[in-house]
Amino acid sequence: MSLTLDASPTALHATAAAAAAAVRAGVHVVDEHDRDRLRDVEGLLIAIWGMSPHGAPIPFDLLRSISHAGCNVSAAYTLRGELCGAAVGIVSPGGMSTYSLIAGVLPGTGDKGVGFALKQHQRAWSLARGINTMTWTFDPLVSRNARFNLTKLGVHSAEYEQNFYGEMQDDINANDESDRLVAVWPLDSPRSVDASQGVVDEVELPPLESAMVLEHGPDSKPVLIDGGENLWCRAPRDIVAMRATDPAQAQDWRFLLRGIFEPAFAAGRVATGVTRSGWYRLSKTDQV
């Protein structure tokens, strides 16, 4: 299947940016339709998330159906032809947006740009079909993923969903409740275009001594501060490890951030970036 169906400048630019991201990551990203390779994608997703009582994160038969329906199963292969990442997206009713169901890379490849190349491929796939928005959900407590989404891709979020999937029993979520932030990615915005070329709008936390501390976290350190134009909210460094070693504290973090994000969003705040140290920037709506 040809990636570029729409030859608009934005779609062509996105295709070139996706190809460049794949080169930097040392991978080849394709729209996967081959039956046997879709079985490999199922295996990769199991390797990342493990098996739950419900089975694979996305089973082969569903992957096969998604691909056959003309939706997106992106697969990243090393130059030796080894599968190292995958992302799956469906098109929402009316064809106005792509909903990304899942995206992940093989353990040990997280810092090599494979995930970024996959998302840029999904972006190009969408723009080539006249779709200019992508949405998905992510765990607000996983600061590394939050930074990837909000800072490196150009996503924003103003919607918090409590216990979105119910209690999750896979290897990563470890029986925790599944609160989620809803990611909205305007694929053709100037910020997203810059991000596709690796031009990142780095988010810098104001000096704590110049900000007003509004709340402390379970670790007794500031977790919510007022920096003037923006509020800043801190996520824990490694919630996945904490869930395994101290599930009670992990739950405390869940409830704490829930109690911060929900009223902030209700007051018109939008999460627009995350610092390297895991602080969310909560901007006013007119700053997005």
CA 123 from centroid of its chain's CA atoms: 13
Pairwise pLDDT comparison (177 vs 41), residue with the higher score: 41
User: What integer pLDDT is reported at residue 74 of this predicted model?
Assistant: 98
Degrees (nearest 5) of the Cα angle 146, 188, 71? 80
Could you give the CA distance from residue 167 to residue 177 in angstroms, rounded to a whole number?
Answer: 5
Average pLDDT over residues 244-248: 91
Calculate the average pLDDT of the chain: 92
Degrees (nearest 5) of the Cα angle 186, 83, 54? 75
**Taking a C-beta distance cutoff of 8 angstroms, is the pair 64, 71 a contact?**
no
The amino acid present at 260, given as its one-letter code, is: I
Average pLDDT over residues 74-86: 97
- pLDDT for 286 beyond 80: no
CA 105 from centroid of its chain's CA atoms: 12
Q: How confident is the model at residue 55 (pLDDT cuts 50, 70, 90)?
A: confident
- pLDDT for 172 beyond 90: no
- pLDDT for 108 beyond 90: no
User: What integer pLDDT is reported at residue 53 of this predicted model?
Assistant: 75
Domains within the chain, CATH numbers bracketed: 1-131 (3.40.630.30), 137-288 (no CATH)
Q: How confident is the model at residue 288 (pLDDT cuts 50, 70, 90)?
A: low
Average pLDDT over residues 123-144: 96
**Taking a C-beta distance cutoff of 8 angstroms, is the pair 109, 116 a contact?**
no
- pLDDT for 1 beyond 50: no
Average pLDDT over residues 131-159: 97
3-state SS assignment for residue 202: coil
Could you tell me what percentage of the chain is helix, strand and coil, using 3-state DSSP and rounding each to the nearest 5? 40, 25, 35
- pLDDT for 106 beyond 80: yes
